Amino acid sequence: MLVLLGVCLGGVDHQPAGAAPRETPARKITRLRAKAARVQAAIDRMHARVEVLVEDYNEVHEALARTRAEQARTRKQVLEARRRLQVARRVLGKRLWTIYTGGAPSTLGQLLAADSVHQALVTTKYQEQVVGADRAAVDHVERLRSPLSSITPSG
């Protein structure tokens, strides 16, 4: 009868045998606060890492922009150098065509054809200037072609 009275007044605890005792609300709040603190710490660590990654991204993005600008400047320089090389090759080609079609004048022939010593000296000086100009044209083409051949294989 005592058992029956106890059951009526206190109720029957329906906790299965061998189960852990129920967690008290205070204990549950403490456990959940500790878990929330661990989660917040993980979030803070991730946030710090994300900030570093964003800074790294921004630096790389700026470096990429500088590289692209430098690439554009280099492309313009290469195009201008190719244009100058083409012009110099045309000049050299015209000079070579003139020599080929007209024949290169021989120094001896011009000296023998001179009517005076003065004309011979002027002819010699003229020939030296022509040879110098030809050499300068060839050197100019070589100077223009050299940097292009190191940049592009089709220089």
**Residue ranges covered by each domain of the chain:** 25-151
pLDDT grade, residue 155 (50/70/90)? very low
- Which pTM value belongs to this model? 0.46
Long-range Cβ contacts of 139-146 (<8 Å, 24+ apart) = 140/88, 141/85, 141/88, 141/89, 141/92, 144/81, 144/84, 144/85, 144/88, 145/85
pLDDT grade, residue 127 (50/70/90)? confident
Give the model's pLDDT for residue 14: 55
pLDDT grade, residue 73 (50/70/90)? very high
If you count them, how many residues does the chain have? Answer: 155
CA distance readout (Å), 20 to 7, 16, 50, 153: 22, 9, 42, 79
